[in-house]
Amino acid sequence: MSIQTTKAERDAVEGGSRRLILDTAARLLRQGGYHQTTLREIAEAVGIRKASLYYHFASKEEIVEAVVNDGVRFVQEAVVAALQASEGAEPRVRLESAIHAHLTALHGHGDYTSASIKAFAFGAMPVPDSVRRVRRAYEDVWRLLIAELQAADVIAIERSPEALRLFLLGALNGSTDWYRPGRFDIPALAREFAALIAPRAGRAMSD
């Protein structure tokens, strides 16, 4: 005898059960990774029975896949947007804003993106093709930016661009292990990181 509503109405108000499930799964995946996170946990947190998840998704892996892809795509969109917004600016500024966008998306968006990193490490053997594709697309964004930085000699041309990319993305994604909202300030962190690999002093001045 509650104020019951139709599916369409509830979807409009609360975003749909599917979204709610994914939001919840993202939160739990972020905390516990793939194997630690169980369907029972997800179902309980959502407020339905575990079997009901199978109405919305075919399997656990489908849920995880959806969360992970959403997460990576969100980060990519944020970084691409930041790069577009800073088009034409100094390469160093563009680097900093890309790092800033990555960190913001990583720690700001509701758990999806952190979850995607935690859940990557799963030895749950086959990383799905869709995940691999989405990831690679994001990597390409950074390959482009790094090429730009080297063309502008902000990063020495003799440095390996792949080593830099792996180094940088590793460092950024590693922040999920230590970043806590109060302890650090993302803009400051982005400034620090950008300055570390592309300091203002040195080559640009002496050359």
| Least distance to a copy of itself, CB of residue 161, Å | 10
Tell whether residue 167 is a contact of DNA (CB under 7 A). no
If one asks whether residue 178 binds DNA (CB under 7 A), the answer comes out as no
First to last CA, the chain: 77
Q: What are phi and psi of 181, to 5 degrees?
A: -45, -40
Check residue 125 for interaction with DNA (CB under 7 A).
no
| CA 63 – CA 182 distance, rounded (Å) | 30
DSSP code at position 152 = T
Instruction: Name the minimum Å distance from CB 168 to DNA.
Output: 33
Q: Of the two residues 6 and 84, which places its CB atom closer to DNA in the complex?
A: 6
Give yes or no for a contact between 164 and 197, defined as CB atoms under 8 angstroms apart: yes
The interface region with DNA, picked from 54-62, 93-101, 151-159, 160-168 by CB under 7 A, is: 54-62
* 33, 50, 86, 184: residue in contact with DNA (rule CB under 7 A): 50
Among 12, 15, 19, 52, binds DNA (CB under 7 A): 52
* Residues 7-46 as x/- pattern, contact with DNA by CB under 7 A: xx--x-----x-------------------xxxxx-----
Residue ranges that bind a copy of itself, judged by CB under 8 A: 31-36, 118, 120-124, 155-156, 159-160, 163-164, 166-175, 177-178, 188-189, 192-193, 195-197, 199, 201-203, 206
CA neighbor of 99 nearest in space, from 206, 1, 196, 201: 196
Distances (CA, A) of 22 to 40, 51, 78, 97, 194: 14, 15, 20, 29, 33
- Contact in structure between 116 and 67 (CB atoms under 8 Å): yes
Distance CA(71)–CA(89), nearest Å, equals: 28
Please report, as ranges, the residues that interact with DNA according to CB under 7 A: 2, 4-8, 11, 17, 37-41, 47-52, 54-56, 58-61
